[in-house]
Structure 1
Amino acid sequence: MISVVILGAGNVATHLFKAFAKAENIMVKQWYNRHISAISSYKNKVEIIDDLSLLKDADIYIIAVSDDAIAELSEQLPFVNKLVVHTSGSVGVYDIDKKQKRGVFYPLQTFSKDAEMEFKNVPICIETIDKKDYHILKELAISIGSPTKKVNSDQRRVLHLAAVFVNNFTNQLYRIGHEITESEGAEFDLLKPLILETAKKVQEFSPYMAQTGPAKRNDKKTIKKHLKILESEQHKAIYELLTKSIQQTHGAPINAQTNDKNTNNGRKKL
């Protein structure tokens, strides 16, 4: 049985608690948050506290708070030489106070409190300073059904950066697509099968091979039509930037501009 204490009450902490509570060989001894009201709804399922001096002995202490608060919270822990890990993608393992055994238990996934999460779809990136600590973190991840990967801090930072591109930025593009369809009363829901197919395709092919669309085939007429439809200057700038990026990736001529800068009396220069 692996005993765990969770520190923090955000999305990651909440989903980890739910996963740990279902696992047969994990016992969540306590759940700490400085504002106990944030976890009060779980008081009948686990001991909740808002005082670090009340922390009990456990195999692993998981800090699941904002990146800026990790170092300070680890300094405040009232014990030494315990396995303390954080769940951040961008914070180094050495940001945890050196009086502890340090590690990282980074679930590489997007979390929303109200969305159900199956941890079989959540790879856990693990890093430890002491090799002996790696095995218990791997066992913890396997116990909730997660695949694991041993990564160092530099690898984890670039994974987190890449995750911003493929998740946060992509979601913002969905939002822009939603705004565009709403502008003419079109149904955004009609795009959802396309979104799913795009995600499915990248499971089988590299993003480079999966790319399609007017920018890749250097379809200047379609690109210009799209730019004329867009009313928002911000949306136009994003369209032009991404179009140029795709053209450069796939070898389209650099002088194939997405605007009218290379035109003369409405006719393109050759």
Structure 2
Amino acid sequence: MVKVVLLGAGSLGYHLTQKMLSSSSVDLIQVYNRTIEKISYLSDKIAITDNLNKLKQADIYVLCVSDNAISELSSHLNFPSKLVLHTSGGTSINNLKSNSAKGVLYFPQTFSKDKKVNFNELPICLEASSNESLTVLKKFSKEFSNNIYLINSEQRKVIHLAAVFVNNFVNHLYFNAEQICNKNKVPFEILKPIIKETVKKLKELSPYEAQTGPAKRNDTETINTHKTMLSSLQLEIYTLLTKSIKETYGEKL
């Protein structure tokens, strides 16, 4: 059974911890976080620590920390015969500064502590510093999902960038839509079916083929009406996205 120490108390760390605690093939022996209170809920289940000098000996050390903490934290993990992983989409494997074998276990997904995760549905992007480490990493990753991709650091940065567009930016647009609804006293829930349908269409159509709306139709009258209803920042967003859509489909206008 592979022994694992997890470092970090964010949303991903929380869900990986829960998954490994229920595993019959992975032995999560310790969780580290610099603020012990954030992992105190685990104290009756597993060893916890806020002291890097008290980390237990494990086969794999998984860093679930912010991107700017990876290099500094990993530099304290001096385990030459062990495997140290980070879980970042936008950080190179070379940012791991331990003297151990190195790897990346990246889930291109958004995580929230109060939202249950079905890991079996998720893709996993793997990278390792050697073929031997990759073999170990593949075996470990199958504890979470069989949907495995071998992705190097540069490719992973591209995936992370694209994920910002489809997740973070789209969610912010949802927020703006909710603000527009709230300001005008209409329920945001009315829009949830169209949100679901937009995602559902991507199973059959490419994003290019699925595009609809006044910008694609060059419906100037509707566009101008919409612009009068927006705050200054929303108007900037609306104008820029409308311009992008128009230019994308300009040949068909």
TM over 0.5: yes
Per-residue deviation at 1:98? 5.0
Write out per-residue CA displacement over residues 174-233 of structure 1, whole angstroms, 9 at most, x where no aligned residue. Answer: 000001111111110000011111111112211101111111111111111111222x01
User: Letter of the aligned partner of 1:235 in structure 2?
Assistant: Q
Q: Which residue in the other structure is 1:247 paired with?
A: 246
User: Once structures 1 and 2 are overlaid, which stretch shifts more, 132-141 or 8-17?
Assistant: 132-141
The alignment's C-alpha RMSD in Å is 1.5
Amino acid paired to 2:169:
F
In the alignment, residue 151 of structure 1 is paired with which amino acid?
Answer: I
Q: Secondary structure at the match of 1:229?
A: coil
In the TM superposition, what is the alpha-carbon distance from 1:252 to its structure 2 partner? 5.3
Tell me the residue number matched to 2:140: 140
Partner Cα distance (1:224, 1:240) in 2: 10
Q: Amino acid of the residue matched to residue 190 of structure 2?
A: L
Q: What are the within-5 Å matches in structure 2 for residues 91-110 of structure 1?
A: 91-97=91-97, 99-110=99-110
**1:125/1:148 contact within 8 Å kept:** yes
In structure 2, stretches of 5+ residues that fail to align are none
CA distance, structure 1, for counterparts of residue 146 and residue 185 of structure 2: 42
> TM-score if structure 1 supplies the norm length?
0.90
Distance in 1 of aligned mates of 2:78 and 2:49: 14
Q: TM-score, length-normalised on structure 2?
A: 0.96
Alignment check: 8 A CA contact 1:141 1:147 kept: no
Cα 1:108/1:178, change in 2 over 3 Å: same
Deviation, 1:135, is 2.1
Q: Secondary structure at the match of 2:228?
A: helix
1:130-161 CA-to-partner distances (Å, cap 9, x unmatched) read 01111222222221235211100000001101
Q: In 2, are the aligned partners of 1:127 and 1:153 still within 8 Å (CA)?
A: yes
CA contact (8 A) 1:5 1:60 kept: yes
Unaligned runs of 5+ in 1: 257-270
SS at match of 2:24: coil
* Alpha-carbon spacing, 1:123–1:91, altered in 2? closer, same or farther (3 Å): same
In structure 2, give the amino acid aligned to 1:183. K
Instruction: Report 1:1-270 matches (<5 A).
Output: 1-97=1-97, 99-230=99-230, 232-251=231-250
In structure 2, distance between residues paired with 1:136 and 1:78: 19
| Structure 1 letter corresponding to 2:44 | N
The count of corresponding residues between Structure 1 and Structure 2 is 253
8 A contact 2:123–2:145 mirrored in 1: no
Residue 21 of structure 1, CA deviation: 1.6
- Tell me the equivalent position of 1:259: none
Moved more, 116-125 or 187-196: 116-125
Higher-Rg structure is 1
Secondary structure, aligned partner of 1:216? helix
Q: Which amino acid aligns with 2:245?
A: I
Q: Report the Cα distance in structure 1 between the residues aligned to 2:57 and 2:146, rounded to whole angstroms.
A: 25
Q: 2:42 & 2:200 partners in 1: Cα distance?
A: 36
1:114 shift after superposition: 1.4
Q: Which runs of 4+ in 1 moved over 6 A?
A: none
- Is the contact made by 2:101 and 2:129 (CA closer than 8 Å) also made in structure 1? yes
Identity %: 46
Would the aligned equivalents of 2:6 and 2:30 in 1 still touch at CA under 8 Å? yes
Between the aligned partners of 1:98 and 1:58, the Cα distance in structure 2 is 14
Q: How far apart, in 2, do the equivalents of 1:188 and 1:141 lie?
A: 39
1:119–1:146 CA contact under 8 A, matched in 2: no
